[in-house]
Structure 1
């Protein structure tokens, strides 16, 4: 597929250059389908464990349940983006808007829940101001999650209404909204990431100063989840900013940037698979998973063998 992009010549004038785009549609479509399958299975098992696992810290449990729901909602849109890469958009204008809404609802709620989890751990470990009453903790955590979902769904509706299907079957932004774009990027990306990094640095410092570090082992799950989010989504958002601000000098530079963009995009989408895998690394989750009658090896053997 040929496409044009704007570059700058030696005299500072903007010129238009035609380049041959690399075809990533098949690879991206296949990877997205794998991501969808792994995410649904992993997050489904994670929710099953969390709803029956009573010996887990209550507030963290509530946040991880909401995080798993965010990942499932995000994953629900992934097969349609896989089909989009393989065959363009053939589902009409309404479903274009709907799946953009689903996509961003999962994305925004995920980063907000991660921020809330980190702030919760910061208040408990560093400030030591979290209430001791379990029912009050539960109400505060549920209230925070309700606010997160209302905000996430509302902002996603705004994003969805900007989309439409073009004449050449592309589900894309129908009009430019630079003010909204430059407002959303800091608010939905840089501010939460800054809060998360600050809180985790303070938590690590407090743990290193603590005489009893073993009681903070539960923090490892939250910390790993946060690190996984930054590793998966950080490069993709950086590449998006580079594509917005940097003007490649020739087609070769444009091709390299395009390759990096597609790799980082697949890495970002794979984040919806990461949280179940990270949780399963802990001994408590693995032992609880194996303790379920439906997942015991003897039960599986009776179901498989005649």
Structure 2
């Protein structure tokens, strides 16, 4: 996977032995003590994140498709974000098995899961940036002609661009992934030259983290300034929802991206530093993966969405039974009214 930090080891300073670094002094090799292993915790956390994310995003998609108006631009963006999170989530069980055991799925699946991982990540960033620009246009540039048709066209173009760009970006990384045997275990990893790997990290962090972050900070600085001067509560609620969705992404992925950038510049020279870096990276990795569970939770804070979900899951059966009961009662009344003239005629004949 392209986000795995690949440390270069040299015989003059240190090397890797049995999961730990080896310090060398005057050509005497001293193996490190066994370092704390986060792989089991990370693998189990990925399985739990997979369960929560699939449940939450599927419910969110169900509500959006059946209860919400998809002509609404915000709903359209959230729909695409949910699809992006699901694509990302599908890869988690494979990476969990990779960490708990080793890669058992073959090279094609290695490339496919890498591509899905990158598509889910990159499309989320592009969609979040487009959502922020859309809010900026509506709130700050409200004097400009921003008809709903134009907004819908912009949203559709942005969504299509997000999928096309993320898919194109994933192909180059997926091609580089190989399955190699190491110590009796198979690993799915990028075997490119270290210089190319570091260059890829720089581009990833710069173009897909810091640049979108700069655009979003600029837009929301202007948005918040405008909202504080306005009194439209409906607009404010929408702005807060989009802000929370964007903030959740950067809170989850920010530490991971920053540590990824530091890892290309800093190489630990002793066992303790290496252990601290591995622990920090594992924690940031779990935090970043947990983001795919956040959007459903944030969207469910809307009272309208919760009401739609309850109607969809809990009250639909009750409504159907009530409708069937009412239909049955109407049928009985109609049948009684139809039989009443016949009964009156029979009674009249009997009395005569």
TM-score, scaled to structure 1: 0.88
Q: In structure 1, list runs of 5 or more residues that go unmatched.
A: 8-12
State the alpha-carbon separation in 2 of the partners of residues 38 and 211 from structure 1.
37
1:282 aligns with 2:302: yes
* Residue equivalent to 1:69: 83
2:236 to 216, 220, 228: 216
**Superposition map of 1:221-232 within 5 A:** 221-232=241-252
State the alpha-carbon separation in 2 of the partners of residues 218 and 89 from structure 1.
43
Considering only CA atoms, is the larger Rg found in Structure 1 or Structure 2?
2
State the alpha-carbon separation in 1 of the partners of residues 143 and 123 from structure 2.
25
* Residue equivalent to 2:153: 139
What are the superposed Cα offsets for residues 24-72 of structure 1, whole Å, 9 maximum, x if unpaired? Answer: 2221111101100111110000011111233688111110000000000
State the alpha-carbon separation in 2 of the partners of residues 136 and 277 from structure 1.
30
* Residue equivalent to 1:171: 188
Contact 1:35 1:269 survives alignment (8 Å): yes
Contact 1:123 1:129 survives alignment (8 Å): no
* Residue equivalent to 2:340: none
State the alpha-carbon separation in 2 of the partners of residues 224 and 102 from structure 1.
25
* Residue equivalent to 2:72: 58
State the alpha-carbon separation in 2 of the partners of residues 114 and 14 from structure 1.
46
State the alpha-carbon separation in 2 of the partners of residues 134 and 98 from structure 1.
38
State the alpha-carbon separation in 2 of the partners of residues 39 and 45 from structure 1.
10
Report the 3-state secondary structure (helix = DSSP H, G, I; strand = E; otherwise coil) of the residue aligned with 1:166: strand
* Residue equivalent to 1:23: 37
CA 137–258 in structure 1, closer or farther in 2 if over 3 Å, else same: same
Q: In structure 2, list runs of 5 or more residues that go unmatched.
A: 1-5, 15-20, 23-31, 322-352
State the alpha-carbon separation in 2 of the partners of residues 83 and 30 from structure 1.
9
Contact 2:70 2:76 survives alignment (8 Å): no
State the alpha-carbon separation in 2 of the partners of residues 194 and 281 from structure 1.
27
* Residue equivalent to 1:185: 205
Contact 1:114 1:226 survives alignment (8 Å): yes
* Residue equivalent to 1:40: 54
1:296 to 305, 315, 321: 315
Report the 3-state secondary structure (helix = DSSP H, G, I; strand = E; otherwise coil) of the residue aligned with 2:91: helix
Report the 3-state secondary structure (helix = DSSP H, G, I; strand = E; otherwise coil) of the residue aligned with 2:82: helix
- Cα deviation for residue 213 of structure 1 reads 4.7
1:94 aligns with 2:108: yes
* Residue equivalent to 1:10: none
State the alpha-carbon separation in 1 of the partners of residues 144 and 117 from structure 2.
33
* Residue equivalent to 2:99: 85
CA 109–6 in structure 1, closer or farther in 2 if over 3 Å, else same: same
State the alpha-carbon separation in 1 of the partners of residues 37 and 272 from structure 2.
15
Contact 1:207 1:213 survives alignment (8 Å): no
Once superposed, what is the RMSD of the aligned Cα atoms?
A: 2.4
1:154 aligns with 2:168: yes
* Residue equivalent to 2:350: none
1:235 aligns with 2:255: yes
Report the 3-state secondary structure (helix = DSSP H, G, I; strand = E; otherwise coil) of the residue aligned with 2:189: strand
State the alpha-carbon separation in 2 of the partners of residues 37 and 60 from structure 1.
26
